[in-house]
Amino acid sequence: MSTVKTPPSGSAALEARRNHPGLALTVILACQLMVILDATIVNIALPDMQGALHFSPTSLAWIINAYTLTFGGFLLLGGRTGDILGRRRVFTAGIAVFTLASLLGGLATSDTWLLAARALQGIGGAFAAPSTLALLNTNFEGPARTRAFAIYSAVSGAGMAVGLILGGLLTDWLTWRSVFFVNVPIGLLILVLAPLYIRQPERHPGRFDLYGALTSTLGMGSLVYGFIRASEEGWSDGLVLGSFAAAVVLLAAFLAIETRAEQPITPLRLLSHRNRASAYVNMLLLPATMFALFFFLTQYLQEVLDYSAIMTGVAFLPMAFTQFGFALVARSQLPRFGPKPLLTAGGVLVTAGIVWLTQIDAGGSYLSSVVGPMLLFGTGSGLSFLSLNMIILSEVKPEESGAASGLLQAMQQVGATVGLAILVNLFASGRKDALSHPPTDASPTTLAHYVLSKGIASAALGGTAFAVCALLISVFLIKVPKPAAPQAD
């Protein structure tokens, strides 16, 4: 007599579908890649956007800054909201806003429309991005979690370079609008697949820290805006000084509120652990160097080496490949050596790469001046970011993983913005010095190349200071014991 199998109930079938860690990881990483890509994918399309929507030279930078400002300002709020309302729910809501904003950006017919869409993209990204790390932390365990973090670090590290490559391809082959439209099908796919394959972590309902959310968002926004404007108008500008003053007051109020709040938006005990606090600082310093590297090398490739948009994007492939590959190498070696040796080795390589960039000159070539620093920086950052992620998120309580992730990504975003603002000012000083001591009998083109190269070399000196500080922190402040024995992968 044959037995009839009872089909699984709806909830059981849904849980069976969610038992696909590979698909869950893919969905989470697709979100992270979209958010990272949008920090750089529009860079190469900026000239086309300027011509189509009649941006002034001074307002063009706000295509980048509008995204940076809202993304950095809302990250802490986005991380804590996921802890309280449910990380998968906030993750999908953020993706929905980001996808809608991308569609609106691709349809823009005026500069104001495009800037509003970019600001909305930043808000959506700020609510989606912190949940990516938190969902990895709660959907995976043991070696599977280490593997997931390794791939996440590889994607995050290579994402900016991939953004330049993809931006060049889309701009050359299609139109500048395609750098926004490319997000729409990806976002829709994430919205369909996330409820099916990502398990909803246990919610930790609580009272929402309204005053902490308000002061952190306004304070972070003021800080980011101050550094953005400083890179354009100089450090003595009235609005720059006013923004920094407002940031100091608001963030001081935020810290005071957080020390008294029963359920703070950013639990300050996250910074009470020396290793975690040191790793957070390094998460600020490394992007400060990394983002500026993209910014200046893009100019060198296009203006000095006369690369097209698509060739400029392809030129970043060595960096993307090494970042991705060595993040996976770090994952395989982490159980054997622990995070500190990998972090230290990565810091040495990053420092060597940025020191090499201080020697860049107008007579250089791609092989002599560009690819070497890219390979060193890609290898070093690939080894570093996984170790930093593991140090920051280890031993974090499940109900605080969203806040920890939000703070991690806020550090990255503020680091990139602060670093670029400082290095752009050094770049301007280097250009000024070069103009006061030009080479004799130089043609206008040769002089322009000389001035640009001297500016980049001056900025690289500042980047070297960031990299050396990060290396010293890794060597002297982070104390992680070596694993007792290698663990099975």
Write the single-letter amino acid at 151. I
Strand extents, DSSP E, 39-124: none
CA–CA distance, 34 with 93 (Å, rounded to integer)? 15
Contact call for residues 235 and 425 (beta carbons, < 8 A): yes
Same domain for 92 and 231?
no
pLDDT-derived band at 358, boundaries 50, 70, 90 = very high
Given a cut of 60, whether residue 189 has pLDDT beyond it is yes
Asked whether residue 486 is domain-assigned, the answer is no
Of 115-124, 155-164, 412-421, 474-483, least confident by mean pLDDT is 155-164
Enumerate helices (H) and strands (E) in the chain, giving the number of each. 19, 0
Same domain for 450 and 302?
yes
pLDDT score recorded for residue 14: 45
Given a cut of 90, whether residue 130 has pLDDT beyond it is no
Where does residue 31 rank: exposed (0-12), middle (13-18), buried (19+ CB within 10 A)?
buried
pLDDT-derived band at 4, boundaries 50, 70, 90 = very low
Contact call for residues 433 and 454 (beta carbons, < 8 A): yes
Same domain for 181 and 134?
yes
Given a cut of 50, whether residue 196 has pLDDT beyond it is yes
Tokens of 263: 């359920």
What single-letter DSSP state applies at residue 263? S
pLDDT score recorded for residue 204: 58
pLDDT score recorded for residue 9: 47
In this prediction, residues 373-398 reach a mean pLDDT of: 84
Write out pLDDT tens, residues 204-259.
566 667 788 788 778 877 887 887 787 677 788 899 899 999 999 998 998 888 88
CA–CA distance, 371 with 347 (Å, rounded to integer)? 18
pTM equals 0.77
Same domain for 101 and 153?
yes
The separation between the first and the last C-alpha atoms of the chain, rounded to the nearest angstrom, is 45
Same domain for 162 and 249?
no
Domain boundary among 244, 264, 284: 264
CA–CA distance, 209 with 183 (Å, rounded to integer)? 32
pLDDT-derived band at 484, boundaries 50, 70, 90 = low
pLDDT score recorded for residue 6: 47
Domain boundary among 227, 249, 264: 264
CA–CA distance, 293 with 381 (Å, rounded to integer)? 12
Same domain for 26 and 81?
yes
Domain boundary among 249, 264, 279: 264
pLDDT score recorded for residue 390: 81
Tokens of 358: 């201080």
CA–CA distance, 271 with 411 (Å, rounded to integer)? 13
Query: In percent, how much of the chain has pLDDT > 90?
Result: 22
- Rg of the chain's alpha carbons, rounded to an integer? 23
In this prediction, residues 265-287 reach a mean pLDDT of: 85
Our CA angle for 273, 384, 396, nearest 5°, is 30
In this prediction, residues 167-178 reach a mean pLDDT of: 82
pLDDT score recorded for residue 357: 93
Write out pLDDT tens, residues 323-349.
888 888 887 888 788 888 999 999 999
Asked whether residue 132 is domain-assigned, the answer is yes
pLDDT score recorded for residue 16: 45
pLDDT-derived band at 105, boundaries 50, 70, 90 = very high
Same domain for 448 and 308?
yes
In this prediction, residues 62-69 reach a mean pLDDT of: 78
Same domain for 176 and 214?
no
Asked whether residue 317 is domain-assigned, the answer is yes
Q: How many CB atoms lie within 10 A of CB 112?
A: 11
Strand extents, DSSP E, 363-431: none
Residue range of the domain that includes 215: 209-264
pLDDT-derived band at 483, boundaries 50, 70, 90 = low
Q: Output the domain CATH number for residue 456.
A: 1.20.1250.20
CA–CA distance, 140 with 136 (Å, rounded to integer)? 6
Contact call for residues 183 and 128 (beta carbons, < 8 A): no
pLDDT score recorded for residue 437: 85
In this prediction, residues 183-191 reach a mean pLDDT of: 91
Asked whether residue 383 is domain-assigned, the answer is yes
Our CA angle for 96, 187, 197, nearest 5°, is 95
Asked whether residue 482 is domain-assigned, the answer is no
Asked whether residue 305 is domain-assigned, the answer is yes
pLDDT score recorded for residue 473: 94
Residues for the chain: how many in total? 489
pLDDT-derived band at 101, boundaries 50, 70, 90 = very high
Same domain for 420 and 286?
yes
Same domain for 284 and 412?
yes
Number of domains in the chain: 2
Same domain for 313 and 346?
yes
Compute the mean pLDDT over every residue in the chain, rounded to the nearest whole number. 81
User: Maximum distance among all alpha carbons in the chain?
Assistant: 100
Same domain for 257 and 161?
no
Given a cut of 70, whether residue 59 has pLDDT beyond it is no
CA–CA distance, 381 with 469 (Å, rounded to integer)? 15
Asked whether residue 483 is domain-assigned, the answer is no
Where does residue 133 rank: exposed (0-12), middle (13-18), buried (19+ CB within 10 A)?
buried
Write out pLDDT tens, residues 6-48.
444 444 444 544 567 778 888 888 888 887 777 677 777 777 8
Asked whether residue 69 is domain-assigned, the answer is yes
Given a cut of 60, whether residue 486 has pLDDT beyond it is no
pLDDT-derived band at 261, boundaries 50, 70, 90 = confident
| Residue of 258, 382, 393, 384 lying closest to 327 (CA atoms) | 382
